[in-house]
Chains A and B, each alone.
Chain A
Amino acid sequence: MNTRVIICIILISFGSIAAILPKENTSSIRLNADQMLHEIRLATNLISPDELADLLINKDPSILLIDVRDSIEYGKFHLPGAINIPLNNLLNDNWIPYIDQISQNNIFYSNGTMLSSEAWIITKQLGFKNNFVLSGGINEWFATIIKPERPTSMAPTEEWALYNKRKASGMFFTGSKASSADEAALSLPPVPRKKKSRVQGGCS
């Protein structure tokens, strides 16, 4: 038999087997379970309330806050500038342009971290980029920025500096003036200055 004929027969048989195989990957899911597990372990999607406060105060134009709670909760209270996409509507056609894009960074948030993480996992596995999660949600936002816990007078300078910074951020967001007690705290030099710590890294 002619070699060409044999090649043709082989090609046609492979082709016909490929044709009757189930259609490959009609799913829109881009990541598999193992990749998803890895992404979750990396936790590079988490933004702390302190980081968010800095972004908002600096009026970073690239971020968009997305509240994934229902509209009633959103109506009662939401973070400044946030839009509302309730989790169950996340994949509605009108919201897709917001969550599947490359021009801005979205930060999902909810009261805690569960709803927002669910939104992130679902968008991540679809291959959507630039989505993040506010770690701890509004609860942590209030606990650290709006109502930061006052350190003890014995607390190290760093802790006081962080408290004062958070207090100032909180005032920025609530528009409140410092009460006299807080002003005292702000001007209080709590502990003597520590020696300057050595620069880390480099050759020694």
Chain B
Amino acid sequence: MKHINLLALGGLIILLAVLFGFATLKITGKYKFKRESTEMLEIVSLREHALSIDKVKSHSTDDEYTLIDIRTPKEYMIYHISNSTNIPFDRLLDDDNMDFFNSPKKKIIYGTSSVGANAAWMILTQLGYDNLFILDCDLNDWKLYVDEKNIFSEPPKKNEDPKFDYESIIKETEG
């Protein structure tokens, strides 16, 4: 009788310890977002994170800034902005990258287009990292505008800039 009691007691303790472990594990998840959705919405509404091509160009030689390429290693190998580091999007949350994002240096993220870079920015910012920005143009535009000094009549447009005069086109085509 005594023996069975002890066995039951041991089983209970182990069960509770496991449950307890699970409960505390959830609290300290490394992927847990630190910023609430409402706070995140306030930050994106400021629209301070999306830098124009000219701004990034002036920062690209600045020691205070570092560029992060989130495309695949192959794409990076074929072409990348000089002085940039390659952190592919699917390895964004690897442990060894986290120290890098923690450093006080300002970081400008770029990808094939600004949309991918923006997604990476959203995730990192919400994890609580600061000093992050994105290059708001297609990488191809950077290549033509900055590297090959192609004559654009004006700097390439940002992703959210209207590329057409919607109103007048609609008026033109109506009727």
Contacts and interface: CB of A to CB of B under 8 A. Distances in A.
A16 interface: no
B95 interface: no
A90 B41 contact: yes
Given A37-B90, A121-B119, A176-B174, 6 more contacts: A21-B24, A32-B29, A91-B41, A117-B119, A139-B164, A146-B170
A198 to B, nearest CB: 32
Contact of A32 (B31, B92, B119, B163): B31
B64 to A, nearest CB: 25
B41 A37 contact: no
A111 interface: yes
B93 interface: yes
CB-CB nearest 10 A-B residue pairs: A112-B159, A77-B166, A88-B45, A32-B31, A174-B173, A33-B31, A176-B173, A139-B163, A3-B5, A34-B31
A147 to B, nearest CB: 7
A142 B41 contact: no
Contact of B114 (A18, A33, A88, A114): A114
A20 to B, nearest CB: 12
A87 B45 contact: yes
Interface stretch (A23-31, A55-63, A156-164): A23-31
Given A118-B44, A146-B173, A27 B33 contact: yes
A10 interface: yes
Given A10-B12, A10-B16, A21-B24, A114 B160 contact: yes
Given A114-B115, A139-B164, A142-B169, A33 B33 contact: yes
A76 B123 contact: no
Contacts of A22: 27
Contacts of B114: 112, 114
B160 A87 contact: no
Interface string B103-144: 000000000011100110011001100000000100000000
Interface residues of B, number: 52
A117 B115 contact: yes
Interface size class of A (residues with CB under 8 A): 35 or more
Given A33-B127, A117-B118, A175-B175, A111 B162 contact: yes
Which of A24, A76, A77 has the largest number of chain B CB atoms within 10 A? A77
A18 B126 CA distance: 28
B119 A25 contact: no
Which of B27, B89, B113, B123 has the largest number of chain A CB atoms within 10 A? B123
Contacts of A137: 160
A24 B31 contact: no
A111 B12 CA distance: 59
Interface string B1-27: 000011001001100100010011011
B16 A14 contact: yes
A137 B16 CA distance: 52
A126 B160 CA distance: 25
A17 B44 CA distance: 39
Given A91-B38, A111-B161, A33 B12 contact: no
A34 B37 contact: no
Given A10-B16, A118-B118, A36 B123 contact: yes
B166 A138 contact: yes
Given A29-B36, A32-B32, A76 B118 contact: no
Nearest to A41: B90
B163 to A, nearest CB: 4
A83 interface: no
